[in-house]
Structure 1
């Protein structure tokens, strides 16, 4: 791993940076070999790695091992559907992972869900209170006690009949949940809508007072190493049962929206072998793909 110098604006007090030596101690044998860059500030780690992946030859062996880029501050961080990712330096673990998966683009169905499942398993290895409260919300979020802890953004740089270059962006709120919630409230000033369950931000420190970037990074990368290999070999199917076991809204009444308009409501059952959401509606079981679809507990708003 390597780190650049220069300092982000208004960093928090205390020892908040990633401890290089401790991280190396915590990494599993394969993650030890991954190139891991740590920079003070960038626009977007996803954009940085997307540019590199597009410059590679379009072959399955174009990248020997996953490449990880961590930034303490992202000035143009993005979430799903182009939303901004708001975080103060030291409060959130913000990184992207680039890899070439030995699958065509139509074989990537459920990748973001597989990543979410791996992150839940990784985070549950940390000394958090009630690890079972770390759960999954379809399609791309990890929740802690019902509030948003982790966001996932998957982008593809190129694809061939036997390989796809992907960049996986992951943002985990580690500390400072109250400050983050206040900042988001300020950004939404004037909006009359109540807080929507599953979208209110929370932080890992809520369940682990000593939460830090170093241990969180190691736990997540160690879980992702095995998950990426497994997904490359067999797609989402091996993750289906695990995802359903961690489903935060299993059996609950939900409403689905597309571009702000309600398209369906019913009981969330789980996901199928391609990561599609199964919903029992008044007219029968429906299957929902991802795309520009958002899910809320019924009555929670859009």
Structure 2
């Protein structure tokens, strides 16, 4: 059976250069009264350069129009695919999951569309899509792929440090009260995204060094009981955070790992977290 795997543009697959055949449903971003498609006519470099030069400007985002998704599904059906498997960013963070689900019902008589909520974003979302594509190519059934991804998403974590709280406050991801205190006392909040797909603040510190120590302890706590089970780390960045290389050095040394994938945060995610964000994604694949 010919199955097409699709993800949303927030998976950062535009900036992942290993070979794959995963399609992308692109979210929208509105910047300076102009509409863009995430990663298509507005790249990450262009976006972060723009908000660096215009720090007071706040970009807004939107899920893709249902009609556009329907057209994309029909285009895939015309290419001879029998089914479409879509991995989406967390439904708790965006209405994209519901839009894609609505589009799937419209084309139900033409092609079956299975929609899977990764309950994450960024490369954790991408990893679900990449594993789905691999498993389908190896002959796994859809039910087996879903069962695997359900286990996988429980073990995906993202820890990140934001440079400014303004974007999180204005996008509603952080309360005004917490944001006000953070700005007054120059607090650096450490945030975590995990299943069921929501962002929580796990600690407030005053220096990047303490933030790095906190993230390292969190990763050690999650991985210490995994015995010989593999885990993967990736670094998420928006713009050019000055201490990125220092964080990579600490993680490699303390966790005794050689390779850490670097992933650029897409403009749509960047609109909510701002510039100079440093994040660490942890993926523990099921055995």
Shared fold (TM-score, shorter chain, > 0.5): no
Question: Greater helix share, 1 or 2?
Answer: 2
TM-score if structure 2 supplies the norm length?
0.26
Question: Greater strand share, 1 or 2?
Answer: 1
TM-score if structure 1 supplies the norm length?
0.25
